[in-house]
Structure 1
Amino acid sequence: MKYVIGIDIGTSAVKTILVNEQGEVCGEVSKSYPLIQEKAGYNEQNPEDWVRQTIQALAELVSICQVQVNNIEGISYSGQMHGLVLLDQNQCVLRNAILWNDTRTTSQCRNIEEVFGEQLLEITKNRVLEGFTLPKILWVKEHEPEIFEKAALFLLPKDYVRFRMTGTINSEFSDAAGTLLLHVTRKKWDYDICKRFDIPTEICPPLVESHDCVGTLLPNIAEETGLSKKTKVFAGGADNACGAIGAGILSSGKTLCSIGTSGVILSYEEDKERDFKGKVHFFNHGKKDAFYTMGVTLAAGYSLNWFKETFSQNETFEQLLHGVESVPIGSNGLLYTPYLVGERTPHADSLIRGSFIGMDGSHKKENFVRAVMEGITFSLHESIKLFRKEGKTVDTIISIGGGAKNEIWLQMQADIFKAKVIKLESEQGPAMGAAMLATFGSGWFDSLEQCAEEFIRETSTFYPKESNVERYEALFNIYEEVYFKTKDLNAALAAFRDR
């Protein structure tokens, strides 16, 4: 039996899975690492934590699965997007990585807009947002000039981990698309962007396809993990691109709902000339010469995790969600907006913050929990609404992540999205997508579509209930007003946040 390993470098943990030729997950190991938050809006991690925990996870995976390591033919990666890792000329890390959910770069974003105007949107297909990589580079250039002077290369999180495991330096198109430095349709770095901001063009790593083999494991990594040093390593893709592959979003008409730390609504695109005018993201897919459109809720699963850690720390998520099925739609007049760290789609606003609207003394914990679940789903629905407004058909949605682990939440998605929602038999998200890239790169299949036919199986379907749809439509109308009615209040409150 042959095997591959998928590695997902997430925001809170690394996840590793061992997958056989039938697409069965034969083992899974996750290892967490801390988030560094020195100030409001600052989110960083130590890249060495990713490397150390990945090596430990792989060693444990190999140990518990007890397969012949020579039968593990390939490894590939998925990773959190946009994060900035700066290396010096000796390929040593210069500072902590600045993550996708870091919002310190508002002034740099405005500067980019002033310099480029609408031209940047034509090149990168995306609006300038605080989470992207270019504003982070400019922030370091402005606030840490001594570090910027030493910077010889930037890498994205998964690319850094892969470099440490192989010794080879690459990026690939699906992750590079989230930097604001890639010409998305021409699939090459746009060096004019670098030159306009006095960024050395040499800072950009070489680009490869997601399924390309970029090397084998270094001898010391092979020894530490128990893997063979002959194991092939493939480039991999951005977490959302890999999540799409792992859910079979490989042809037109398919849409993905992924609820992790952030939340994503993602739809496959083949037409590179399609223009959403920056209303949603437009990125390169992990499938060659394909693209996807995407709307993002910054604090989706993070909202539920925040509530649990703040108010129910000693409970499991199953205990936390117990009783929500008995709470009526609308949580007895309680509404939540999930803007804990700002928002991205449809409101690119780093200052907006979350709200509970309508609290009264009769509300219990389960009312708040359901309100959080409904608020997250409403935010994701705003992306679906944008897709439909631009003429895309969204009637079937594959749901993965935390939102697919609870049947109440799956029915809620079907009712709010007004679409058929499908749960997969074995949902491994981006890690499975990474594993599938390794199978394709290893020659097991002629295409990713062929791999998906073998690996991906549907297990249950949830249909919208008309009576629920009507109530949620009325509640969603109220939800949409909250942003505009609290925007100025939150901007004023920003002066009182810790800096």
Structure 2
Amino acid sequence: MYMGIDLGTSSVKVILIDEAGTLVDEAAVPLTLSRPRPLWSEQDPERWWDATQAAVRHLESRRSLDAVAGIGLSGQMHGAVLLDSNDQVLRPAILWNDGRAGAECRELEQREPASREITGNLAMPGFTAPKLIWVVKNEPDIFARTARVLLPKDWIRLKLTGEAVSDMSDAAGTLWLDVGKRQWSPAMLEATGLSERHMPRLVEGTEVSGVLSVEAAAALGLRPGIPVAGGGGDNAAGAAGIGVVDPGMAFVSLGTSGVIFVADATLKKDPERAVHAFCHCIPGMWHRMAVILSAAATLSFAARLAGAADEASLLTETEAAGLPTQSRLVFLPYLSGERTPHNDPTAAGVIFGLDGTTTRADLGRAALEGVAFALADGLDALQARGGTIGGLSVIGGGARSKLWGRILAAALQRPLTYHRGGEVGPALGAARLAMIAAAGASLDEACPPPPVSHVIEPEAALMESLEPRRALYRRLYSDLKSTFADSVS
């Protein structure tokens, strides 16, 4: 068997697949998020390791893990885990959806004018490098003690193997990588007061990065010496899980954040539209992404706000109410700011059009539509320079909702293909990368598209009813943009 560990924002998921790539078992342990100040988002890395141990132990309680022959990693990108010379964590990790480093992004690009050319990307607050400039300014004692900076999943790797290693896809999201050359950029590191000695060793996602240590094996109930693959950032690993490994293939991810991902044979940059251009976890491949910061997080917020028992209950109630042909209720899902296409950390969530008849189901429907409109903006950005994108596969926890699929297909005006196991895409991709690294499986053998569960076609009537609300959605952001910025200055 092969194990995939996915360190998400809301949970750690661990799955097992067999030699045929079939999902054998899975377990998840929830995580909590800390927002101690406006725009801040942090987690304690030690809780990641606690959750990883608990999830693996859940699997071990149900079946023997003696046959595990390889481990792969995926996880939330961009987070800054600062370690001292003894590899001890110095402060809570600053996460991908943290918006405190807006001014530092501008400073970074001033310090290194070739930043966008080197990295292929616009400097955004969620990326790792600007966070370190913020630490220099605001926590100089912490920065002075920082001997190593790791990404979240790579901190888990350190706990598993004792090795400080990252893969190309995750490293590409730091703004320290020369994305075209697939190596650390001395110029970008110098611009943040760091050098290559602060960075982990780089491998491809399909390579062995180390082996499971005796200590970690004892903690997890596994045998020592199991190879650990390079793995990938959550979306690149999700691409491996869904079989998006050839140029032009694409998917949409409905996790805590939302992503439209396109695989590319060459590096295609479009930083002006806040399109992400990163290395794939597959050697010799790259990818582009449109990223929104709140997807399933928007649904969770709406359920909590409206007093629903949970997200599933809100979805059930929303579906039972039906989809209106006319409404002006619009939800801007900018609960953590926004990336593509706005690159606006000050953007905030807005519910517009409330009246005395608004129901909980109305709020649920508006939340689903708001995420769909945000992703449609991202699709427009991807297509502005990269050409037309056809049908999309769907992964992530939000893939479980057929109602959301109907709304999303109509907003994107594309058919959506759902695959068996798509809801665990990144963890599945991590396990598949482990199969390649540990067993020498070929890409075709390890990463085929999973069997199709169903396809949702866009509905003409729903497409027509969404158009006026999408126009209002876009106008609201334009009207409120300066107000968002003023409210946090």
TM-score in terms of structure 2 length? 0.96
Q: CA deviation at 1:387?
A: 2.1
1:420 to 415, 420, 442: 415
Change (3 A) 1:78 1:197: closer
Q: Which residue of structure 1 aligns with residue 42 of structure 2?
A: 44
Q: Which residue of structure 2 aligns with residue 283 of structure 1?
A: 278
Q: Say whether 1:212 aligns with 2:207.
A: yes
Aligned equivalents of 1:391, 1:288: Cα separation in 2 = 21
1:11 to 3, 9, 12: 9
SS in 2 for 1:18: strand
1:253/1:393 contact within 8 Å kept:
no
Q: Say whether 1:446 aligns with 2:439.
A: no
Q: CA deviation at 1:331?
A: 6.6
SS in 1 for 2:49: helix
SS in 1 for 2:289: strand
Q: Which amino acid aligns with 1:13?
A: S
Aligned equivalents of 1:402, 1:34: Cα separation in 2 = 17
Change (3 A) 1:372 1:166: same
Aligned equivalents of 2:63, 2:445: Cα separation in 1 = 26
Which moves more between the two structures, 241-250 or 274-283?
274-283
Change (3 A) 1:183 1:205: same
| Superposition map of 1:182-331 within 5 A | 182-272=177-267, 274-279=268-273, 280-312=275-307, 315-325=309-319, 326-329=321-324
Q: Which residue of structure 1 aligns with residue 73 of structure 2?
A: 77
1:331/1:367 contact within 8 Å kept:
no
Q: Which residue of structure 2 aligns with residue 407 of structure 1?
A: 402
2:130 to 131, 135, 155: 135
SS in 1 for 2:174: coil
Aligned equivalents of 1:252, 1:11: Cα separation in 2 = 29
Q: CA deviation at 1:197?
A: 3.7
Q: CA deviation at 1:109?
A: 1.1
Aligned equivalents of 2:145, 2:486: Cα separation in 1 = 38
1:331/1:368 contact within 8 Å kept:
no
Q: CA deviation at 1:393?
A: 2.3
Q: CA deviation at 1:34?
A: 2.0
Aligned equivalents of 2:60, 2:86: Cα separation in 1 = 31
Q: What's the RMSD between the two structures over aligned residues?
A: 1.5
* Alignment deviations for residues 32-73 of structure 1 (CA, whole Å, 9 cap, x no partner): 222121111111111111112111211221221235x1x210
Which moves more between the two structures, 281-290 or 229-238?
229-238
Structure 2 unaligned segments of length 5 or more: list them.
none
1:8/1:14 contact within 8 Å kept:
yes
Q: CA deviation at 1:85?
A: 0.6
Q: CA deviation at 1:307?
A: 1.6
Q: Which amino acid aligns with 1:141?
A: V
1:337/1:479 contact within 8 Å kept:
yes
1:4/1:438 contact within 8 Å kept:
yes
TM-score in terms of structure 1 length? 0.94
1:76/1:435 contact within 8 Å kept:
yes
- Identical aligned pairs, as a percentage? 35
The count of corresponding residues between Structure 1 and Structure 2 is 486
* Alignment deviations for residues 401-423 of structure 1 (CA, whole Å, 9 cap, x no partner): 23311111111111111111011
Q: CA deviation at 1:329?
A: 4.2
Q: CA deviation at 1:195?
A: 2.1
Aligned equivalents of 1:470, 1:62: Cα separation in 2 = 51
Change (3 A) 1:222 1:391: closer
SS in 2 for 1:266: strand
Aligned equivalents of 1:212, 1:373: Cα separation in 2 = 39
Q: CA deviation at 1:95?
A: 1.1
Q: Which residue of structure 2 aligns with residue 25 of structure 1?
A: 23
Q: Which amino acid aligns with 2:61?
A: S
Q: CA deviation at 1:226?
A: 1.4
Tell me which stretches of 4 or more aligned residues in structure 1 moved more than 4 Å: none
Q: Say whether 1:88 aligns with 2:84.
A: yes
2:132/2:192 contact within 8 Å kept:
no
Aligned equivalents of 1:15, 1:278: Cα separation in 2 = 34
Which moves more between the two structures, 390-399 or 293-302?
390-399
Change (3 A) 1:104 1:330: farther
Q: Which residue of structure 2 aligns with residue 397 of structure 1?
A: 392
SS in 2 for 1:72: coil
SS in 2 for 1:192: helix
1:257/1:399 contact within 8 Å kept:
yes
Q: Say whether 1:100 aligns with 2:96.
A: yes
Q: CA deviation at 1:275?
A: 3.1
Q: Which amino acid aligns with 2:284?
A: D
| Superposition map of 1:382-393 within 5 A | 382-393=377-388
